[in-house]
Amino acid sequence: MADSADRITLAGLRATGFHGVFDHEKRDGQEFVVDIVLGTDHRAAGRSDALADTINYATVADLAMARITGPAYDLIEALAEAIAGDCLTLAGVHTVEVTVHKPAAPIPHTFADVSVTVARGLEHPFVVALGSNLGDREATLRAAVQQLGFEPEIRIGRVSGLVETDPVGGPEQSDYLNAVATGTTSLTAPDLLATLPRLAARPGRTRTVRWGERTLDLDLIQFGTPGAPDEVRSSDPALLVPHPRAAERAFVVLPWLDADPRGRIRVGEDVIPLALLAAQLDPSGVRPLGGGSDD
């Protein structure tokens, strides 16, 4: 889960609930204590000193109290999960950690407390394009997808089949193998973008000249859902999202369509289905090799 440096902590929220696997727990109830830590960004509130720019602690408490005193769960794990999900619906909450204490749990021994903690973050969809035209291209691309999925805050969804493509622009060079991977992450767009060159720079991977041959190239094509609140649109040279040339590149659009037949891409102010865009592109320089996968 992505770590947020700024936090809001609500500790020791107490109420009677009726959660538990035994009939007497659901009948008689007992006290539950909840601690909540919200990962957020305090910079706007720190500058403005305005309640509208932060998270209302009372709202957080109300959400948790409604779960504690509401319909019964058998497990406090389920109660914690429900509270975490409610907190993530609040604007400005990036991550949440919820601890549910059950100090009167029916255990026939002396003990101080029983608690469970869940940590969750917002999951944003992303699209990454991969390319290689040096060395064992197929092995490189497959290893890159695997390594991307090993990152603790990244979950790979569907991966396209491989396509062989003619190089576009730059010096004369070998044909590329390309693929597209989709997935979700609790990272921010800048943090995900920073992860890609680190993977591409692993030992044994080289890039000879700008626009030239390279062992591995990873490009962040899209972050968030086009048209949705989590969509990231940035013209900052350090974070160009959506990728400004993706819609023009058959070697991106065609494998992306293979991975996500219902996918959409932003082109200017419009959001266009990939299938419609693919029909307008010249596929002659893109030769499918197959081998896609999904979760």
Phi, psi of 123 (to 5 degrees): -105, 120
Q: Which letter does DSSP use for residue 51 in this model? A: G
> Structural domain tally of the chain?
2
Residues 15 and 108 placed together within one structural domain of the fold: yes
C-alpha to C-alpha distance for 179 and 159, rounded to whole angstroms? 7
Distance of CA 256 to the CA centre of its chain: 18
Q: Phi then psi for 272, rounded to 5 degrees?
A: -115, 135
Are 201 and 266 in the same domain? yes
pLDDT at residue 292 in the model:
61
Residue 260 lies in a domain: yes
What is the reported pLDDT for 211?
44
Question: Could you give the CA distance from residue 290 to residue 294 in angstroms, rounded to a whole number?
Answer: 13
Q: Which of 68, 58, 80 is nearest to 29 (CA)?
A: 68
33, β-bridge pairs: 14, 101
Place of tokens 């007992």: 30
pLDDT averaged over 10-residue windows placed end to end, the chain, 295 residues: 75 98 98 97 92 94 98 98 94 92 98 96 93 92 94 94 83 85 92 90 52 78 92 93 95 97 95 96 89 60
Owning domain of residue 235: 124-290
At 174 the pLDDT is 84
The token duo for 62 is 């109300």
User: Residue 167: its pLDDT value, please?
Assistant: 79
DSSP per-residue letters across 146-161 = HHHHHSTTEEEEEEPP
Residue 233 domain-assigned? yes
Provide the β-strand partners of residue 181. 128, 159
pLDDT score for 209: 45
Does residue 242 belong to any structural domain of this protein? yes
Tell me, yes or no, if 26 is annotated catalytic. no
How far apart are alpha carbons 261 and 274 in whole angstroms? 7
* Beta pairing partners, 203: none
Give the model's pLDDT for residue 14.
98
The residues, any chain, with a CB within 8 Å of residue 270's CB and separated by 6 or more, are none
Q: Catalytic: which of 19, 67, 101, 102? A: 102
pLDDT at 25: 98
Tell me: do 48 and 23 sit in the same domain: yes
Concatenated DSSP letters of 171-210: SS-PPEEEEEEEEEESS-HHHHHHHHHHHHTSTT--B-ST
| Same domain, residue pair 77 and 57 | yes
Residue at 186 is within a domain: yes
My answer on whether 248 and 276 are in the same domain is: yes
pTM confidence score: 0.67
Examine residue 295 and state whether it is found in any structural domain, yes or no.
Answer: no
State the Cα–Cα distance between residues 163 and 156, nearest whole angstrom: 19
